Structure 1
Amino acid sequence: MILRPKSLSHHPGTLHGAATVTPAVPVPTWLRRAIPDAQSLAGKEIEDLAHTAGATIGALDAVVRRQERWAGAWRQRLALAAAAVTARQAGRVEDESALRDAVLLTRPGDFLSVGPAGSMLLAWRRLAGTPVENLLTRKSLGAVLDDLGLRRDDDAVSDMADDLRQLSAGIGMVGLLTGAFTAAESRGFARTFGCWLADALLAQRLGWAHAVPLLGAEAALGTSARPRRSAASSVATGIDTDPEGAKNQLAAQARAALRAIDLSAEIERRAERLLAVAPKLRAKAADAVVEKLLSDDAIVASEKIAGMSDRGLRRLFDRLLELGAVRELSGRPTFRIYGL
């Protein structure tokens, strides 16, 4: 069950590092203050953390159910943030800009050349862009493990898919979260994969059309995996076996949900500006460009859009920049990239 606060304050507080834009779905001050950072978990009871996480997920659920036109850009921007943390935890140096370049500047269909870090971004983009009913299939799980650079075998993937179906059948929200990490770590996979699974299971449980990348950007969850356990015990949740780990996961989920809510407010503000100037655009296929900007993190100036020449697209982006409707994200004079 999702715990929702009885009243919502219109004067939200501020979480360290969060955006200052007021969300369209306001988060009450008491909830912001109740969300602990990674250093303030001592003395917190798991029941209190479960209540806080449930209330924050309830607020996030309200954002998702609005089904805004800009939701695709929002989810993919969250996927980029998750991929940057994943790459850093893997010892790589690529930041968000480098990851964006790796994927967007690759020729269509040539995804083998995106490199290991680019593949990590593809894993999180898969989470954000795939219909939720297709996320936890054997094929999808195997592809994500490949993208994350994790060794796997078909039998392990098949067993894990079965375990995840059992998890999603009727366990509570806390058990769903901790069970996702157990399913990954019991097979020796890094916690990054547990983050991916937890986000997918949450979306499935709440009936969302697409998952929202949340936990991947939580560096405090770390990368290590527990020793392998037997498959028979892999569905067991970590509430009793590792209560401190469960507390850490609940706090991370609450922080991640709040960060996603705050980002939604920023994306909404930028999207409203784009939609306000859209009627002024006279270029052919301008509507298609606007929809692309609303549905993805960013697009390159050389994007192939039906009815739009390369020169016409560059001129359109110049116009959108003049109107303050998009940002140029690369900082380069060539191979430019644009987004909300």
Structure 2
Amino acid sequence: MTFARHAPIDDREFIPRIPSWVTAARAETLEDVAFLSGAVLNHLHVVMGRGDVPHTLLRDRLALRAAEACMAFSGRPERAGELRDAVHLLRPGDLPGPVGDTCLTWRRAVQRPVSIKALGRALPTLEPDQIATWLDAGPQGGSCAPVRRAALVLEAVLTAAPRADVSALILADAALAQALGWDHLVPLLAAGLKQADLRKRGADLRLACHRAVSASGTEAVRLAADLARRAADLKAVAPKLRAKGAGDAVEMFLTRDAVTPAALPLPDRAARRLCDRLVDLGAVRELTGRDTFRLYGV
């Protein structure tokens, strides 16, 4: 199912937060935790149908957070800044290395609607038949509650390939998206799970997945609200930009977590001036804090 997109809303409206009775609850039993994760997913589903949310940008930023979590699972110290550098500062012919590869894998996973072909593009080491088999893990071809289905897929992949954290988490998020009727994968599980959770099985793993969805879903709603506001600010200043190609540049900022001036459809000098102008207008941020090799994003 594709989300029904509504017309842009009035500036006075805002994306409501998840009710405090959901975020403040301290549930312990599987039944209670499942109830709360369902409440979070319901709220997130409504948010994901809003026309003011920059959905592609949101997925790309959540993909970065998922990649960051996977780096931590593997014991590596790289965080968001290093992940961005590993992807956006690649020169032609360079190999991304394990850090960049993990980040690119997550980015590819969220770019296209969920399908066996799209997942195979993101996970080229897996055969399509294997992807299909894992996505159908669980009773009756995977027809069960969304988080339970995701947990079953996660367990199936990690049982067969204990070191395949990235593949397992991507396929679990894909199963969650399919069960919810979402057209694209929205990374939720990786950022909410702990390394020890990946060794759990059965009811313990389901409990961990429900908690992960509650935590990450809450953060996704907060991020969606923040990006919707920032996107509105960028669109508001767009008419003030006179550089040829500025419209296409704005669209890049609205769909990508980070952008280098060199990636913009303008000459190098004009691209740098445009980035500086957008920072001065408060429409984008410089993400690195460096004087050179800078990256910019909403």
* Superposition TM-score tier, normalisation by shorter sequence: 0.7 to 0.9
- Report SS of the residue matched to 2:289: coil
Are 2:238 and 1:281 aligned? no
- Taking the aligned partners of 2:117 and 2:142, their CA distance within structure 1 comes to 16
| Counterpart position of 2:177 | 203
Q: CA deviation at 1:166?
A: 5.5
Q: How does 1:168-179 map to 2 (within 5 A)?
A: 169-179=142-152
1:123 to 87, 96, 105: 105
Would you say the 8 A contact 1:136–1:161 is kept in 2? Answer: no
| Counterpart position of 2:32 | 48
Q: Report the TM-score, using the length of structure 2 for normalisation.
A: 0.86
Are 2:190 and 1:216 aligned? yes
Coordinate RMSD, CA, aligned: 2.4
- Taking the aligned partners of 1:46 and 1:277, their CA distance within structure 2 comes to 48
| Counterpart position of 2:16 | 25
1:260 to 220, 223, 233: 220
Q: CA deviation at 1:224?
A: 4.7
Q: Report the TM-score, using the length of structure 1 for normalisation.
A: 0.76
- Taking the aligned partners of 1:204 and 1:64, their CA distance within structure 2 comes to 14
Change (3 A) 1:160 1:54: same
| Counterpart position of 2:290 | 332
Q: CA deviation at 1:175?
A: 2.6
Are 2:279 and 1:316 aligned? no
Q: CA deviation at 1:128?
A: 1.8
Q: CA deviation at 1:33?
A: 1.2
Q: CA deviation at 1:159?
A: 3.6
- Taking the aligned partners of 2:278 and 2:85, their CA distance within structure 1 comes to 21
Q: How does 1:153-172 map to 2 (within 5 A)?
A: 154=127, 158-165=129-136, 167=138, 169-172=142-145
- Which amino acid in structure 2 is aligned with residue 32 of structure 1? T
Q: CA deviation at 1:92?
A: 1.5
Unaligned runs of 5+ in 1: 1-21, 147-151, 227-237
Change (3 A) 1:169 1:246: closer
- Taking the aligned partners of 2:253 and 2:77, their CA distance within structure 1 comes to 27
Q: CA deviation at 1:215?
A: 1.3
Change (3 A) 1:315 1:183: same
Change (3 A) 1:173 1:196: same
- Taking the aligned partners of 2:277 and 2:270, their CA distance within structure 1 comes to 11
Would you say the 8 A contact 1:71–1:294 is kept in 2? Answer: no
- Taking the aligned partners of 1:261 and 1:69, their CA distance within structure 2 comes to 10
Q: CA deviation at 1:162?
A: 2.1
Q: How does 1:82-231 map to 2 (within 5 A)?
A: 82-107=66-91, 110=93, 113-134=95-116, 137=119, 139-140=120-121, 142-143=123-124, 146=125, 154=127, 158-165=129-136, 167=138, 169-190=142-163, 191-222=165-196, 224-225=198-199
Identity %: 36
- Taking the aligned partners of 1:57 and 1:135, their CA distance within structure 2 comes to 26
- Taking the aligned partners of 2:14 and 2:105, their CA distance within structure 1 comes to 28
- Report SS of the residue matched to 1:270: helix
Q: 1:310-330: per-residue Cα shift (whole Å, max 9, x none)?
A: 111111111111111110011
- Report SS of the residue matched to 1:132: coil
- Taking the aligned partners of 2:233 and 2:174, their CA distance within structure 1 comes to 31
